[in-house]
Amino acid sequence: MALETVSANRSHGGTQGVYRHRSRETGTDMTFSVFVPDHADGARLPVLFYLSGLTCTHANVTEKGEFRRAAAEHGLIIVCPDTSPRGEGVPDDADGAYDFGLGAGFYCDATNAPFDRHYRMGSYVAHELPGLIADHFPVDRSRMGITGHSMGGHGALTLALKHPELFRSVSAFAPIVAPLQCPWGHKALAGYLGNDWQQAGRRYDACALIEDGARVPEILVDQGAADNFLEEQLRPQLLVDACAKAGIPLMLRMQPGYDHSYYFISTFMDDHIRWHAERLV
C-alpha cells in the first residue's frame, strides 16, 4: 500500500514523521503520525497506538503530548491516527456540532447511512493501520499496546477488549468508559448504528463488553479530578465496578487539580509509556 511522507523531523534521538495513505476501510485519505526511536539495524520494536479525543486530529498529541523522550528511552514506536475520516463527500453532523461526525468517529464501524460508507474507524485502527505500519516501519506485531484520551480512551479500551490477540496492553487518559450511559455516547452510537444502537452499541462500550465476557489482563487509567466532563460523560466508577465484578485488575489514578486538557495528558504520558514498555518486552 502506497504511503506518502508529509513531513519528517529529528527529535529525541529518533524520527517524528507524518504520513498519508488511501484507506480501504474509510475510502478516504487518512493521515497519521509515527515516532520511531533510533535502533539497531534489523531490530523490531514494540509499538503503542495512541487514539485521540473529540475534535482532534493526529496533530494534537503529536505536537502537545510530550511523548518522544520517554518513547526513545524505552525503544517504543508511537503511532497516532486521526479520529475520523475526512474529505469531500464525508458526512458531518447536520448542525456542525463537535461531538458527532468529523473529528468524532468514536472508533466504531458505522452501520447507519450515510455514515456507514466512510466511518469505519474500528476496523481501520484494529486491522488496516497495524498492517500498514508493519509494512513500512520496524515493528514487532506481537508486541502492540493501545492507549488514548477521552473518546480515544473509549476506543483504546473497547478495541483492546475485543482484540486481546492484537493488543497486549491497554491504558487510557480520562476515557468515556460507558457510552451507552452518557450523552456523548447516546448521540454518537445512535447516529452511527441506527435504530438498534442500544444493543449494537454494546460492542462499543467498555463496561458492556466486560459485562458480556470480554477480558484484558489489566488496565491503567489516569483521570483528572478537576475534569469538567467527569460526572456526566466519563463516569470512571462504572469501569471500577465492572472490572471489580469481572476480576480485571484496574489501576485508576485520580489526579487532584488536573482537567481534561493536554496539560493533564502530557504530565502523565511518561508513566503510561513506561507502563506499556514493561508489558511489551
- Is there a contact between 90 and 82 (Cβ–Cβ < 8 Å)? no
Residue numbers annotated as active site: 150, 227, 260
CA atoms of 23 and 7, how far apart (whole Å): 19
SS (H, E, C) 114-127: CHHHCCEHHHHHHH
51: three-class secondary structure by DSSP: strand
Q: Per residue in 146-165, is it b (16+ CB within 10 Å) or e — as a string?
A: bbbbbbbbbbbbbbbbbbee
Amino acid (1-letter code) at residue 41? D
Q: Per residue in 244-265, is it b (16+ CB within 10 Å) or e — as a string?
A: eebebebebeebeebbbebebb
**Residue 194 CB contacts under 8 Å (≥ 6 apart), including other chains:** 111, 112, 200
CA atoms of 117 and 27, how far apart (whole Å): 8
- Is there a contact between 174 and 153 (Cβ–Cβ < 8 Å)? yes
CA atoms of 19 and 133, how far apart (whole Å): 11
